[in-house]
Structure 1
Amino acid sequence: MITVYGEGRGFRVVWLLEEMGLPYRLRPVDMLAGVENDPVFLAINPAGFIPALQDGDAIMVESIAIMEYLLARYGPTPLAPDPHDPAFPAYQQFLHLGEAGLAASMFFVVVAKMLAPEDEKDNWGARKAMQTFESRRTIVARRLAHAPYMAGDTFTAADISITYALQFARRAGGVPLTEAEQAYVARTTNRDGYRRAMDTCAATKEWAEALGE
C-alpha cells in the first residue's frame, strides 16, 4: 500500500493518486505540534518536512519528484505525455514551475508574513521571493492566453502542480488571482479526482472552506 505522509504539498500527491486510481492511505503529520514528537514520521524523513511517500521499500520526499515517480512507476497515463509527444516540453516545464518557480517562492513570502517579527515581515528576502513568484507567474499567464491547460488542450499532472501553487498563493499569501487564473483553477478543480482528494485531505478542505471556497 502506498502511504502519503502529510498534507500541504502532499495534496498534489493525493490528487495525482486519485486521478490515477491507485490505492493509498494518507498518514497525517502535525507540523504545528512539532515533528520531533513524531518518531514514526522522522524515521521516514529525518529532515522533518512534508510530504513523504512510502511505496514498499521506496521512500521519497519532494512532491514533484514523488509525482514523477508515480507517473513512471504506475504509468503510462495521459496525465504524463510521452517524451515524443509535442506537448511534452510544456508539460515538463510547468510540472516543475509549479514548485520551483511558484510555490517555493511563495513559501518564503508566507513564512515571513506569518512567523517573522513585525519589523522583519517586509524584509528583502520576502520581497525578492514575491518578485520571483510574480515573474514566473507571467509564464503561466502567457500559456493561458493560448491554451486551456499547461500542456495544451488536455489536463495533465502539470496542472496539479500549477493549480496547487496558485491556490497556495491565494490561500496563504493573500494573492488575488487574475480572471484567467480563476477560470483555469475552476477548470482544473472541477474534476472528480480533485473532489476525492479534498475529501481525503480533511485539513486542506477545512482550510479552504474557512476561506469561503
Structure 2
Amino acid sequence: MITVFGEGRGFRVVWLLEEMGLPYRLRPVDLLAGVDRDAEFLAINPAGFIPAIQDGDAVMVESIAIMEYLIARYGPTPLAPGSRDPAFPAYQQFLHLGEAGLAMPMYLAVVSRNLAPEAERRNWGARKALEIFESRLQLVRRRLASASYLAAEGFTAADISVTYALEFAERTGCFVLGEVERAYVARVTRRDAYARAMVACPATKAWVEEVAARR
C-alpha cells in the first residue's frame, strides 16, 4: 500500500493515484502545528516538508519526482507519453513547469504576503516571484490558445502538475486567472478522479469551500 504523507502539493500525487487506480492511504501532516513532534513523518522526511510517499522500501519527496516514480513504477499509462512520442517534449516541459516555474515562485509570493512583517510583504523577492509566475504562465497560455491540454491531445500528468499551480495561485488570492486558464481548469477538474481526490483530501476540500464562501 502506498502511503502519501500530507496534502498541499500532495494533492497532485493523490489525483495521479486516483487517475491510475492505485490503492493508497493518505496520512495527514499538520505543518501549521509544526512537525517537531511528528516522529513518524520526520523519519520519512527529516526536512519536514510535504508531500512524501512510502511505497514498500521506497521513500520519496518532491511532488513531481513522486509522480514520475509512480508512472514509471506502475505504468505504462496514457497519462505519460512515451519518450519517442512527439508529445513527450511538451509533456516533460509542462510537468516540471507546473512546479519549478509556477507553484514555487507563487509559494514564495504567498508566504511573503501572509507571513512576512507588514513592511516586507511586497519586498523585491516577492515581486520578482510574481513576475516569474506571470512570465512562465505565458507558455501555458500560448499552448492553450491552440490545444485543450498541455502536452498530448488528451489529458496527461502535466495537466495535473500545472492545474495544481493555477488553483493554488487563485485560491491564495495572489493572482487572478484569465479566461483561457479558467476554462482550462474547469475542463480538467471535471474529471472523476479529481473529484475523488478532493474527497480523499479533507483539508484541501475545506480550503476550497472556505475560499468559495468568501467570494
> Is the TM-score greater than 0.5?
yes
Instruction: Tell me by how many angstroms 1:146 deviates.
Output: 1.1
8 Å CA contact 2:17–2:24 kept in 1: the answer is yes
Instruction: Tell me by how many angstroms 1:173 deviates.
Output: 4.0
Q: Which whole-Å deviations, capped at 9, do the CAs of 1:36-69 have from their partners, x for residues lacking one? A: 0211100000000000000000000000000000
Q: Quick one: distance in 2 between partners of 1:152 and 1:209?
A: 32
Q: Can you give the 5+ residue segments of structure 2 that lack an aligned partner in the other structure?
A: none
Q: Quick one: distance in 1 between partners of 2:109 and 2:118?
A: 14
Aligned length: 213
- Residue number in structure 2 paired with 1:24: 24
SS of the aligned residue for 2:36 comes to helix
Letter in 2 for 1:3: T
Q: Can you give the 5+ residue segments of structure 1 that lack an aligned partner in the other structure?
A: none
Q: Quick one: distance in 1 between partners of 2:148 and 2:188?
A: 9
- Residue number in structure 2 paired with 1:34: 34
- Residue number in structure 2 paired with 1:186: 186
SS of the aligned residue for 2:212 comes to coil
- Residue number in structure 2 paired with 1:48: 48
1:129 aligns with 2:129: yes
8 Å CA contact 1:109–1:173 kept in 2: the answer is no
Q: Quick one: distance in 1 between partners of 2:105 and 2:142?
A: 19
Q: Quick one: distance in 2 between partners of 1:160 and 1:24?
A: 18
Matches within 5 A, 1:95-134: 95-134=95-134
**Structure 1 105/173 Cα, relative in aligned 2: closer, same or farther at 3 Å?**
farther
8 Å CA contact 1:13–1:67 kept in 2: the answer is yes
Q: Quick one: distance in 2 between partners of 1:15 and 1:157?
A: 9
SS of the aligned residue for 1:3 comes to strand
8 Å CA contact 1:106–1:173 kept in 2: the answer is no
SS of the aligned residue for 1:211 comes to helix
Q: Which whole-Å deviations, capped at 9, do the CAs of 1:13-33 have from their partners, x for residues lacking one? A: 000000000000000000011
Q: Quick one: distance in 2 between partners of 1:14 and 1:77?
A: 16
Runs of 4+ aligned structure 1 residues displaced above 4 Å come to: none
SS of the aligned residue for 1:37 comes to coil
Instruction: Tell me by how many angstroms 1:152 deviates.
Output: 3.3
Letter in 2 for 1:131: E
Q: Which whole-Å deviations, capped at 9, do the CAs of 1:70-128 have from their partners, x for residues lacking one? A: 00000000000011111111011000000000000001000001100000001000011
Aligned-CA RMSD value: 0.8
- Residue number in structure 1 paired with 2:94: 94
